[in-house]
Structure 1
Amino acid sequence: MARRKEHTHEQIRHMAISAVVEHLQCHGVDNLSLRKVATTIGYVPSTLINIFGSYQYLLLAVSEQTLLQLAAQLQLIKPTTPKQTIEQMAIVYSQFALANRRCFRLVFELTMTDDQPLPAAHLGLIKSLFSDVESQLSQYFPSACEQEVEMMSRVLWGGIHGLTCLSLDGKLFETQSCLQDMLTSHVSSYIDGMSIKRNSNAAN
């Protein structure tokens, strides 16, 4: 039975998000539903609809919380050289993904219907991941234009994300330390390769 006056909307929102996160610690999102979440926290589904708008937007709220937690972890990195900083970002990214497997997957696997677009705030959180990489690349390649830096950040982080996801799927057959070696090798090789390419183009 709904306990309409026991909690504020913000408290119910927090309870629902926490219930989803707790479920994802052991089970996939396919085994979850709006009704299950509502039952877990002692409310009816219509209460959650009033607060989130839809089940998809509840999952989106969980995704946003995951992105904020990831961003907080990345902010703890102490900058050194641009290359070393990006290497550390890659390692922290993969460690976070491995520690929060299903919540991490939800961020990139959640799809919205045409009439439920991704909110600008959510898109901004995803873009901020690239912005941090772009900032480091701009320092490493000061003569690169904005479009070049943006392209490099996408290619570089795409490889980092790919290695991380392969590890999550158990398709790299590696230890965590081996994954870190792969990530640092990818970052170092890509940045060194782009440096050689840009120097060669400048010489010509």
Structure 2
Amino acid sequence: MGRRSDHTRPELREMIVSEGHRQISEVGFARFSAREVAKRIGYTIGTLYNVFGSYDQMLLAINGRTLDLWIAALEGRLEGLETGRLEAAIRAYFTFAVEHRHAWTALYDFRLPEGEPMPDYYREKVEAITGVIVREIAAALPEAHGEKARSLARSLLATVHGHCFFALNGTFALLGEEDPIARALDRVEDALARYEDG
């Protein structure tokens, strides 16, 4: 295939991320192919690496698209809600993972090489997800314990994530658990109940 110059660099970046996200959503991280992305958009694989600098940075950009969709789904689910916001956020967490299974798991399957720092733009996207949970935990806590919201949110996020991951990979079904969302909500309520009386 000859060299092409039909698109600007920003246009190429968007084409690559869009096609890469489509592919990873369809086949998952393990079967993701940069060559197939290049083929689908009509460019060489060298063009992909030229735009992003490396395979790893391209994968981060693709996973970044998933994070953008995830935060939009969370905020969209919470928009206008006056009560039950924390439960709605947890249910939205599960819903997004189920509806975007391959793309969601790719967020955790992919790792940067040891010693390579996470780009600021990507870290900000991750912190946006965490920020939603921190905000909703803070709102659910008595005012006297508001300073505990961030540390508690990290712990509860891990709890919800574990329940979600076990639900997706079949572990809960194997254990006979039929309602992992309800169990995740139970654990969150148990944790919050510790702070109700003071």
TM class by shorter-chain length?
A: 0.7 to 0.9
Q: Normalising to structure 2: TM-score of the pair?
A: 0.87
In the TM superposition, structure 1's runs of 4+ consecutive aligned residues that sit over 6 Å from their partners are: none
Q: Which amino acid aligns with 1:26?
A: E
Counterpart for residue 92 of structure 1: 92
Counterpart for residue 149 of structure 1: 149
C-alpha distance 193-10 of structure 1, shift in aligned 2 (>3 A): same
Of residues 159-168 and 27-36 in structure 1, the stretch that sits farther from structure 2 once superposed is 27-36
Counterpart for residue 202 of structure 1: none
Matched, 1:55 2:51: no
Q: CA RMSD in A?
A: 2.3
Question: Equivalent residues in 2 for 1:13-52 (5 A)?
Answer: 13-52=13-52
Of residues 65-74 and 12-21 in structure 1, the stretch that sits farther from structure 2 once superposed is 12-21
Of residues 120-129 and 137-146 in structure 1, the stretch that sits farther from structure 2 once superposed is 137-146
Matched, 1:130 2:101: no
Counterpart for residue 79 of structure 1: 81
Q: Which amino acid aligns with 2:6?
A: E
- Structure 2 distance, partners of 1:97, 1:6, is 36
Q: CA deviation at 1:35?
A: 2.3
Q: Which amino acid aligns with 1:89?
A: A
In structure 1, list runs of 5 or more residues that go unmatched: 200-204
Counterpart for residue 193 of structure 2: 192
SS at match of 1:30: coil
Q: How many residues of Structure 1 are paired with residues of Structure 2 in the alignment?
A: 194
C-alpha distance 125-141 of structure 1, shift in aligned 2 (>3 A): farther
Residue identity over aligned pairs, in percent, reads 24
Is contact 2:21–2:65 with CA below 8 Å preserved after alignment?
no
Q: CA deviation at 1:155?
A: 1.1
Q: Normalising to structure 1: TM-score of the pair?
A: 0.84
Q: CA deviation at 1:2?
A: 4.5
Q: CA deviation at 1:27?
A: 1.6
Q: CA deviation at 1:145?
A: 5.4
Is contact 1:3–1:42 with CA below 8 Å preserved after alignment?
no
- Structure 2 distance, partners of 1:87, 1:145, is 18
SS at match of 1:144: helix
In structure 2, list runs of 5 or more residues that go unmatched: none
Matched, 1:182 2:183: yes
Q: Which amino acid aligns with 1:118?
A: M
